[in-house]
């Protein structure tokens, strides 16, 4: 499988039984690569507005951006500077800077009481870019809706009820991330790339259009393929937690971001990592455990699995493995 397929989410939601089945089959086939493209109803106007404000933020002086950091968040809220996040297989930090935002839970909710460090709430740099909070909040909510709807296709595809992921992603620790990849000629050394080869931590990631090429997907044969969705479509890729739940039937999408020599300069992207609640037990579903595919993963709490990977990618503030 060396091709990323394009499917129609609305056909699954509003089509005939045969159209729904075709979408499910297409998603299952394409996710052998860990990636699939889908149509969506995400507002292009909203995306343009979000990019405009985020580019305004990233264009500020480093000392101004640093005022938007959130201590103790381990890269899960606020600003993270250049040369911090490091792919698990690499000792060279990525040449990128990020701004992250998530959600809060209602006052008194047991998730907030049990996991206060997971629900820091969105911390927006309103003092630097007035009005940015309302735009990014709307973006987050709109893209989460697309992700939760797409997970229903995946649930059916692995033999579960389509509502299987609904509860675990309600008040989950889903994280939105804006990424600025500066021009590579500004990098401190040739060993750095925009984002080295890696898999995401979560269930699925959604990526609306970026401002330049650069995202590449690793195929089974080791070749790299450009991720180039049709205009107006969203890229969906799978993460470590979904691979765990499906017992490897759906693998994590391995990818990297590298500068295209035909598009010199910097690159901006906005991605969203759909996470379950931290108390979700990640355990292979019975439909994905067979004689030919015996259980590969032991159960683990989603919050604990997240902590493991945050350390591996150098985001634990008090224990960075790469200086």
Give per-residue pLDDT as tens, 65-112.
999 999 888 888 999 999 999 998 899 999 999 999 998 899 999 999
Residue at 319 is within a domain: no
In this predicted structure, what is the pLDDT of residue 11? 96
Residue at 210 is within a domain: yes
In this predicted structure, what is the pLDDT of residue 1? 60
List beta partners, residue 217: 225, 255
Instruction: Report DSSP state, residue 286.
Output: G
Residue at 322 is within a domain: no
In this predicted structure, what is the pLDDT of residue 242? 98
Residue at 162 is within a domain: yes
d(CA 217, CA 236): 12
In this predicted structure, what is the pLDDT of residue 168? 96
List beta partners, residue 206: 236, 272
In this predicted structure, what is the pLDDT of residue 17? 97
Residue at 317 is within a domain: no
CA pseudo-torsion sign 113, 148, 102, 35: positive
In this predicted structure, what is the pLDDT of residue 274? 98
Residue at 320 is within a domain: no
Question: Which region holds residue 34: left if phi is over 0, alpha if psi is between -120 and 50, else beta?
Answer: left
Say how many domains are in the chain.
1
In this predicted structure, what is the pLDDT of residue 316? 77
d(CA 125, CA 94): 23
The CATH number linked to 77 is 2.60.120.330
Q: List, for the chain, all residue ranges whose pLDDT scores fall below the cut of 50.
A: none
In this predicted structure, what is the pLDDT of residue 80? 96
Residue at 192 is within a domain: yes
Residue at 321 is within a domain: no
CB 273: neighbour CB atoms within 10 A? 25
* Domain encompassing residue 91: 6-312
List beta partners, residue 255: 198, 217
């Amino acid at each position: 499988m060396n091709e990323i397929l394009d499917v129609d989410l609305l056909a699954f939601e509003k089509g005939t039984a045969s159209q729904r089945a075709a979408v499910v089959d297409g998603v299952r086939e394409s996710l052998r690569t860990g990636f699939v493209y889908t149509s969506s109803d995400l507002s292009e106007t909203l995306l343009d507005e979000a990019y405009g404000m985020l580019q305004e933020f990233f264009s500020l002086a480093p000392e101004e951006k640093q005022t938007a950091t959130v201590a103790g968040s381990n890269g899960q809220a606020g600003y993270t500077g250049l040369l911090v996040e490091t792919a698990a297989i690499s000792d060279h930090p990525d040449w990128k800077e990020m701004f992250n935002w998530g959600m809060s839970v209602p006052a008194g909710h047991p998730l907030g009481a049990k996991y206060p460090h997971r629900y820091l709430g969105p911390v927006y740099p309103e003092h630097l870019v007035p009005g940015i909070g309302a735009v990014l909040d709307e973006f987050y909510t709109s893209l989460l809706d697309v992700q939760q709807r797409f997970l229903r296709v995946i649930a059916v595809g692995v033999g579960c009820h389509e509502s299987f992921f609904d509860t675990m992603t309600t008040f989950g620790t889903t994280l939105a991330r804006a990424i600025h990849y500066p021009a590579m000629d500004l990098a401190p050394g040739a060993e750095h790339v925009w984002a080295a080869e890696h898999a995401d931590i979560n269930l699925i990631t959604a990526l609306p259009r970026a401002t330049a090429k650069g995202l590449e997907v690793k195929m089974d044969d080791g070749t790299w393929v450009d991720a180039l969705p049709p205009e107006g479509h969203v890229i969906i890729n799978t993460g470590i937690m979904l691979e765990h739940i499906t017992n490897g039937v759906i693998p994590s999408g391995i990818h990297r971001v590298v500068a295209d020599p035909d598009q010199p300069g910097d690159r901006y992207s906005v991605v969203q990592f759909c996470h379950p609640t931290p108390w979700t037990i990640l355990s292979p579903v019975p439909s994905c455990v067979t004689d030919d595919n015996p259980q590969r993963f032991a159960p683990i709490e989603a919050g604990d699995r997240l902590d493991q990977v945050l350390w591996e990618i150098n985001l634990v503030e008090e224990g960075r493995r790469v200086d």
